[in-house]
């Protein structure tokens, strides 16, 4: 029922007649878990008052999301204005910008935080600028840890006036060990202007956005329907240059990730397969194998453990080049992070030994 309501075709949703014994409470939980409440509720409510009376849980979630989305949109403009005053250029993406771009309304997409891309050189000025608005970093790092984190990490989460992790400031798209290296200068140069409410913001070009959304979904093992809905909607509603997308996917060495993402959207949401993706799938049969594994993760009612060995096997299988698989595994095993720094305190002279701590913690967890 959930897949029918998320399908590309509204007609397919109308043809999905709810069974008499449908557990609407469980349905609401699934919709919330997969981040599709704003897509599902209006379609079901449009089927008539008899069905609407069965949806109190879903309606409450829908209204709460709308309030959150409107507040975060207002907060986004406040943050962008403050950063601009400090001479910091930021590109918001996902969140309200993606909602307005794809669905024409910031309340029609489920999101709980804001994502902003900035130039790495601007990071030192971000923290004091955001502090004036009441935002504090969620992480507390020593200077040595922070330098290491800036090299290997990709984002700072900030707690805001109305909750934790409301804002994510990113200087990379993914952590370094995933071995997907977007050129930030190119992303900023190709940025476009999109309307957001009564204002306008600069954000990623449609082609760059599609690739960023694909790798974000892959990073999380494609386990949430909303990411596939967003990608399918972007491919359907915007005049994308698929030749450029194919070229950039090949340069970034993420062709298999793009193919798996669209294979899933096709199977689950009846989204059409672009010709570029069809060609990649024909040239790379392993994309179908990875898609089948991702489908089994989506179908599992249990929460998927992204620190389990099976997750890292999936991430290696999602890459078409063996060099990227080896780099991923080596960087994963040898790159210490917040977990290691929190587990044990080493004097500055012994900071390089955190690599040994990292290996020991991985061995304990997996073996």
The model's pTM is 0.93
Is 210 part of a structural domain of the chain?
Answer: yes
Is 288 part of a structural domain of the chain?
Answer: yes
What is the pLDDT at residue 303? Answer: 79
Averaged pLDDT, groups of 10, the chain, 367 residues long: 81 61 90 94 82 84 96 96 95 96 94 94 92 92 89 92 92 93 94 92 97 97 95 95 97 98 95 94 95 92 81 95 95 90 88 92 83
Is 248 part of a structural domain of the chain?
Answer: yes
Angstrom distance (rounded) from CA 103 to CA 66? 13
What is the pLDDT at residue 55? Answer: 87
Q: Cβ–Cβ contacts within 10 Å for residue 88, how many?
A: 20
Is 71 part of a structural domain of the chain?
Answer: no
Quote the number of domains for the chain. Answer: 1
Strand-pairing partners, residue 157, are 168
Angstrom distance (rounded) from CA 106 to CA 113? 13
Q: How far is CA 180 from CA 21, 42, 103, 309, in A?
A: 46, 37, 28, 20
Structural domain containing residue 301: 206-320
Is 201 part of a structural domain of the chain?
Answer: no
What is the pLDDT at residue 9? Answer: 58
What is the pLDDT at residue 47? Answer: 79
Is 143 part of a structural domain of the chain?
Answer: no
Q: Spell out the long-range contacts of 154-161 with Cβ–Cβ below 8 A and sequence spacing 24 or more.
A: 156/123, 156/126, 156/127, 158/130, 159/135, 160/75, 160/133, 160/134, 160/135, 161/133, 161/134, 161/135
How many residues make up the chain in this entry? 367
Is 159 part of a structural domain of the chain?
Answer: no
Cβ partners under 8 Å of residue 284, min gap 6: 255, 256, 259, 320
Q: Cβ–Cβ contacts within 10 Å for residue 99, how many?
A: 23
Q: What is the DSSP letter of 173?
A: S
Residue with tokens 């959207």: 265
What is the pLDDT at residue 300? Answer: 82
């Amino acid at each position: 029922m959930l897949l029918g309501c998320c399908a590309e075709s509204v007609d397919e949703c109308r043809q999905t007649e709810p069974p008499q014994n449908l557990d609407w409470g469980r349905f609401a939980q699934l919709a919330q878990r997969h981040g599709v409440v704003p897509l599902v509720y209006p379609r079901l409510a449009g089927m008539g008052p008899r069905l609407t009376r069965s949806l109190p849980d879903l309606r409450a979630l829908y209204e709460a999301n709308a309030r959150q989305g409107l507040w975060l949109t207002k907060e986004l403009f406040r943050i962008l204005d403050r950063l601009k005053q400090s001479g910091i250029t930021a590109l918001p993406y996902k969140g309200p910008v993606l909602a307005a771009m794809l669905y024409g309304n910031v309340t029609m997409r489920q999101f709980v935080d804001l994502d902003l891309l900035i130039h790495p050189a601007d990071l030192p000025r971000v923290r004091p600028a955001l502090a004036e608005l009441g935002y504090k970093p969620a992480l507390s790092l020593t200077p040595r840890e922070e330098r290491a984190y800036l090299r290997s990490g990709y984002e700072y989460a900030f707690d805001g006036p109305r909750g934790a992790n409301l804002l994510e400031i990113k200087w990379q798209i993914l952590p370094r060990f995933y071995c997907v290296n977007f050129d930030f200068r190119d992303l900023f140069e190709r940025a476009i202007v999109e309307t957001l409410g009564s204002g306008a913001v600069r954000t990623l070009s449609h082609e760059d956005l599609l690739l960023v959304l694909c790798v974000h979904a892959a990073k999380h093992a494609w386990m949430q329907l909303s990411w596939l809905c967003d990608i399918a909607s972007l491919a359907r509603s915007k005049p994308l240059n698929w030749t450029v997308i194919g070229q950039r996917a090949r340069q970034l060495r993420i062709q298999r990730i793009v193919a798996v993402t669209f294979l899933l959207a096709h199977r689950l949401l009846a989204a059409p397969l672009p010709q570029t993706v069809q060609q990649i799938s024909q040239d790379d049969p392993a994309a179908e194998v990875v898609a089948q594994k991702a489908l089994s993760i989506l179908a599992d009612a249990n929460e998927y453990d992204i620190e389990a060995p099976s997750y890292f096997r999936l991430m290696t299988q999602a890459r078409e080049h063996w060099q990227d698989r080896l780099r991923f595994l080596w960087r994963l095993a040898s790159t210490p992070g917040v977990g290691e720094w929190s587990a044990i305190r080493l004097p500055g002279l012994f900071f390089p030994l955190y690599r040994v701590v990292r290996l020991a913690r991985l061995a304990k967890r997996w073996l």
